[in-house]
Amino acid sequence: MTELRRVDPKTLVVNPDNPRRSAPDPRADHQLALNIKTVGLIHPPCVRELEDGRLMIVAGHRRVRACIAAKLGEIDVHVRQGDEKSHTMASVAENVVREAMSESDQWNGVLDMRVKGASDTEICRAFMITPGYLRGLSLLAQMHAPIIAAIDAGMGPSFAERNAIARTPLERQRDVWAEVWAESGEGKSDPTDYRMTAEDFQYFEWSEFVQALDRTELYARDFAFDEATAKEAGVVWEEDLFGQGDQDNRYCTSFPAMFRAQKLWAEKTKPDGAEMLECGEYGSGIAPEGYRRVSTWESVLKSDIPVVWVSPGTLEIKTGHMRALAARAGEEGVNGSLNVTIVPASTAPKERPDISGTGLKLIGEVRTQALREALAGAGEDAWIRGIWWARSCWRSARTT
C-alpha cells in the first residue's frame, strides 16, 4: 500500500542505507534539475514514515536533490508501507531494474515532440541530452531500417560512419545492404530487409560497407580478371553510355562482388608456391603464425615464400614475401641474409703488472707529499732532499 503526499523536499530524511554509494556526478544532477524545472517531476520519490513522523527516502535521492536545486517548494512522494526488508528490496530494485530507451525510440519521441511544437532547446532539456547528441539522433531519419535495428542492438556503426551512411541516398543503402546479405536469411526472404544477428556482426565491418556505398562505378578497364572470374564472383556489368568510344565502358556498382572477383583472380594468377594472405586494417598482408612479412628494405632469401593479398580499401592485388621465424639466433631468416658468428674471448692467462693498484695509489700520495714539502722548504737544499726522499719512496713501493 502506498499513499501520495505533497511535502517540502527539504524535509525528507536521507537514507543512511542508500544502495548508491558512489559519488554523484554534479553535471548529471544539474541536468536533472534543469529537466525537472522544464517538465516537472515525472516520477515521485518513494519514502517511508519514521517513528517520529518524519519521512525517509527509500528510492529517489537524486530526484529529491534535483527538486531542491530547482527550488521547488513542494513535491509529490509515495509513502510506502512495509518492513525494513521490503524497503531495502525496493531501494535496490529501483536502481537495478531499468532499461534505457533505444535510439530509434528516442528519435521517434523527438519527432513527436516537434510535431507538438517543442523547440530543440526544450527537447534537449526534457531528454537531458546535448545538441550534438540530438544531431546524431537525427541521422536515423536518413538510414535504412535494418541499419537502425543494428544500432538499437548495439551493433551499429561509429558516429563518423553514420554520417557517411546518412549522406548516401536510401535507395543506394538498400542496394548495398541487399548485396552484402544476398546469401543470408531463409527461403525467399528479401535480403534488403535482412536483420543482422550477433553472429553476423563478428564478421561484419561497417568500414567496408561505407566503402561500398562510396564506390558507385567500378570500371572493368581498371581490373585484370577475366569474364569467367567475373561471373563466378557475381559481377554484373553495366554500360556507361557517355564513356569514350575507344575504351571499355563497362562498370559494376557492387563493391563486394568486385572484391570477390579480385580475390579469385589473385588466387588463380599467383606464382607457383605463393600463399594467399588475409589483409590487415591498414592494407598490409597478415602473415600466419610462425612467419613474418619481409620488409621492402630486406634482401629476399631463397627460402622466403611469395605471398599475395587484396586490399579491401583499394581492391589492389599486392605481392610480397614472408619468412619463417627461426628457432635460434644466427639461423637464416632471423636477421635477413646475414649470419653473425660470435668469436669466443681469448683464454690466455693475464700477465701480472709491475705495480699493483695499491702500489700506484701509494706512489701518488708520496709524490703529492714530496711536492708540498719542496714548495714549503726555505732553500734549495730542502727542495733537493724532498725530491730524493720522493724517489726513494717510489723505489721502495715498486719493490713491494
13-48: pLDDT as tens digits: 888 877 666 676 787 788 788 878 877 887 888 888
Q: Are 91 and 15 contacting, i.e. CB atoms less than 8 angstroms apart?
A: yes
* Residue bearing the bigger pLDDT, 344 or 57: 57
* Residue bearing the bigger pLDDT, 89 or 274: 274
Is 160 contained in some domain? no
pLDDT greater than 80 at residue 143: yes
Out of 81, 96, 111, a domain closes at 96
Number of H helices, E strands in the chain: 15, 13
Please give the share of the chain, as a percent, with pLDDT higher than 70.
74
pLDDT of residue 322: 94
pLDDT category at 345 given cuts 50, 70, 90 is very low
Is 112 contained in some domain? no
Is 18 contained in some domain? yes
pLDDT of residue 374: 61
- Using CA atoms, how far apart are residues 115 and 289, in angstroms rounded to an integer? 59
Is 226 contained in some domain? no
Is 20 contained in some domain? yes
| Sign of CA pseudo-dihedral 363, 368, 373, 379 | positive
pLDDT greater than 60 at residue 302: yes
pLDDT of residue 225: 93
Question: Which residues are bridge partners to 319 per DSSP?
Answer: 308
* Cut 0.85: pTM above it: no
pLDDT greater than 90 at residue 384: no
Out of 76, 96, 116, a domain closes at 96
pLDDT greater than 70 at residue 395: no
Q: Are 303 and 336 contacting, i.e. CB atoms less than 8 angstroms apart?
A: no
User: Residue 54 sits in which domain range?
Assistant: 2-96
Same domain, 381 and 302: no
* Residue bearing the bigger pLDDT, 254 or 395: 254
pLDDT of residue 106: 85
Question: Which residues are bridge partners to 46 per DSSP?
Answer: 59, 78
pLDDT greater than 60 at residue 62: yes
pLDDT of residue 333: 42
pLDDT of residue 229: 94
pLDDT of residue 400: 53
Out of 42, 62, 96, a domain closes at 96
- Using CA atoms, how far apart are residues 319 and 23, in angstroms rounded to an integer? 56
Same domain, 319 and 371: no
pLDDT of residue 88: 65
* Residue bearing the bigger pLDDT, 121 or 228: 228
Q: Which of 1-5, 94-98, 196-200, 299-303 has the lowest mean pLDDT?
A: 94-98
Same domain, 324 and 294: yes
Mean pLDDT rounded to a whole number for the chain: 79
Averaged pLDDT for residues 189-218: 85
pLDDT greater than 60 at residue 346: no
Give the total number of structural domains in the chain: 3
pLDDT of residue 84: 65
Averaged pLDDT for residues 81-98: 62
pLDDT category at 265 given cuts 50, 70, 90 is very high
Q: Could you tell me the CATH number of the domain that includes residue 86?
A: 3.90.1530.10
Q: Which of 135-139, 242-246, 276-280, 305-309 has the lowest mean pLDDT?
A: 242-246
pLDDT greater than 80 at residue 261: yes
Please give the share of the chain, as a percent, with pLDDT higher than 90.
19
pLDDT of residue 321: 93
Is 163 contained in some domain? no
String of DSSP letters for 132-152: HHHHHHHGGGGS-HHHHHHHH
pLDDT category at 291 given cuts 50, 70, 90 is very high
Same domain, 383 and 321: no
Is 68 contained in some domain? yes
Distance between first and last Cα of the chain: 107
Averaged pLDDT for residues 352-375: 67
Q: Which residues contact 32 (CB under 8 A, 6 or more apart)?
A: 62, 63, 66, 128
Same domain, 314 and 390: no
DSSP E strands, the chain = 2-7, 46-49, 55-59, 75-80, 218-219, 238-239, 250-252, 275-276, 278-279, 285-286, 291-293, 305-310, 317-324
Same domain, 313 and 289: yes
Q: Which of 70-74, 97-101, 215-219, 321-325 has the lowest mean pLDDT?
A: 97-101
Is 389 contained in some domain? yes
Same domain, 283 and 322: yes
Q: Which of 125-134, 176-185, 380-389 has the lowest mean pLDDT?
A: 380-389
Same domain, 46 and 25: yes
pLDDT of residue 19: 66
pLDDT greater than 90 at residue 182: no
pLDDT greater than 70 at residue 1: no
Same domain, 294 and 371: no
